[in-house]
Each structure stands twice: as structure tokens, then as C-alpha cells.
Chain A
Amino acid sequence: MEASYSIIKKENEYRVSLTSVNQEALPDHIRVVLADENIDVSELMIERVSGKSATGQDVLHDITGWVAELFFANPNLIVYYSCDDMTPIPRRNKRGGNRNMPVNEYRSKLFTRIFDTYMASHQVTGVTNTPIRIDNYENGIGYSLFFHFIARNIHNNIVEILKDNIVEVSGK
């Protein structure tokens, strides 16, 4: 998969892409499974390149629609999303439990909320979001990483293999 999308609203420009994951980072047995089943694991990236306004529902709706369109047009696609912890979120909601939440955790929760809302409003079935959180802390100091896989239920076996490998590599 190699697709890119630019959306501009006033001074805000967002750039989105879906590109195949470089499989060199993956273990051999995973690469074999992906090749055998002709699975394309593509990474979703969303980057704001200008503007500091809060991101509107219309922008999120448009981006979601673009990703969904590509997903449903490509029957062997699994979407992988790693939540960015490098760039801030301008004017994000900081009420209640969100106040001290790291930006990548906030993005993970937002991603799940948008996914669930899209699925319910479009009455889509047979597609699942699998979130993964990796906690790397020592004596209370460290960080968490957040990842998601979006896959058709018929590809749950592939997602399970990816999950099992993460657990296995982590020595659990």
C-alpha cells in the first residue's frame, strides 16, 4: 500500500499516509506467514504540518473516511498505527482524567473512540481494533508505547500471530 492524503482547513494542514511496513524489522516466521497469506500490513501516519487550532470533527471525519475507503478496497490489508509521542496536540481536551495523560495515550484513546464511532455509525461488522500497550518502567520511571492493529475478523489469526510474537520476543 502506498497512498497519501492532504487535507487543509484554514491555516491547518494535515498529511496522512498508508504505507507498507518495512518487513525487515519483523522476524522471518512472521514474514513467511504474511507472504503466504498475501497480507499487506500498512502503517497509518497522521501529521499536522501547519496550524495550531483544535482539530475539527469534519477533518477527523474526512480522514476516517479516507482510511476506511482504502481498507475496504483492499481485502488483504491490516492497518497498523503507532501512537505518536513526539509532537504535542494543540488545544487538546485537558478536563478530568485527561489532564496528565501523555500525548500518545491520548491519541490511542482518541483512535479507539473514532474507530468505534465509525463502526457503529456505518453499521460495519467483521472488523476489529486490537490495542497493545507496552509499559517500560523501572522504579516508577519510564514510558508507555501504544499500538493498534485494525483487521478483518478473518485475519484475526494473523493479528494473534503478531501479538504472540510481541509477547514471545518480550520473554513473557
Chain B
Amino acid sequence: MAYTKETLVINNPSEQLLKVIEKLRENKQAKLDKLRNMKPEEFSRRVILS
């Protein structure tokens, strides 16, 4: 059974699309910074594997 669809490939994206992607990347960077700086007690779940 196929769970993954065929990859949609877009060549030479427009400036408009690249701007949207850049905006999403900026948002991601901000979220990653927040994730890196979170205190242990702030996580929804914490697991320590032996």
C-alpha cells in the first residue's frame, strides 16, 4: 500500500513563492530559538531513555 504520494516537483519558483518560503523560514527560526531556550519544566512531555 502506498502511504506516500509522488513528490510534487516545482522548478524555478517565482519570487512570490520564494518570499512566502522566506517568511515561513523566518517563523521557523523564531520557533526554533524558542524551543532551544525552553526550560525543562515547560515541555508537554519529557523522556529520558537509558
A residues lining the B interface (CB < 8 Å): 3-9, 15, 17, 19, 21-22, 24-26, 43, 45, 47, 49, 58-59, 62, 66, 82, 112, 115-116, 119-120, 125, 127-138, 145, 163, 166-167, 169-172
Q: Which residues on B sit within 8 Å (CB–CB) of A59? A: 49
B window 1-50: CB within 8 A of A: 1, 3-5, 7-14, 16-18, 20-21, 23-25, 27-28, 31-32, 35-36, 38, 40, 42-50
B residues lining the A interface (CB < 8 Å): 1, 3-5, 7-14, 16-18, 20-21, 23-25, 27-28, 31-32, 35-36, 38, 40, 42-50
Chain B at the A interface: mostly helix, strand, loop or mixed? Answer: mixed
Measured CA separation A7–B40 after assembly (Å): 10
Pull 22 A–B residue pairs with CB atoms less than 8 Å apart, ordered by A: A3-B44, A3-B45, A5-B43, A5-B45, A6-B43, A9-B49, A15-B38, A15-B43, A21-B27, A25-B27, A82-B25, A125-B1, A127-B3, A129-B4, A129-B5, A134-B13, A135-B11, A167-B8, A167-B10, A170-B12, A170-B16, A171-B16
Q: Which residues on A sit within 8 Å (CB–CB) of B20? A: 25-26, 169
B11 adjacent to A5 (CB under 8 Å): no
Q: Which residues on B sit within 8 Å (CB–CB) of A135? A: 9-12
- Specify which of B3, B8, B35, B44 is in contact with A120 (CB 8 Å cutoff): B3
Smallest Cβ distance from A68 to chain B, in angstroms? 13
Name the CB-closest residue of B to A132. B8
A116-B4 in contact given A134-B17, A166-B10 (Cβ < 8 Å): yes
- Specify which of A3, A26, A133, A145 is in contact with B8 (CB 8 Å cutoff): A133
B45 adjacent to A66 (CB under 8 Å): yes
A4-B17 in contact given A131-B7, A133-B7, A133-B8 (Cβ < 8 Å): no
Smallest Cβ distance from B37 to chain A, in angstroms? 10
Smallest Cβ distance from B7 to chain A, in angstroms? 4
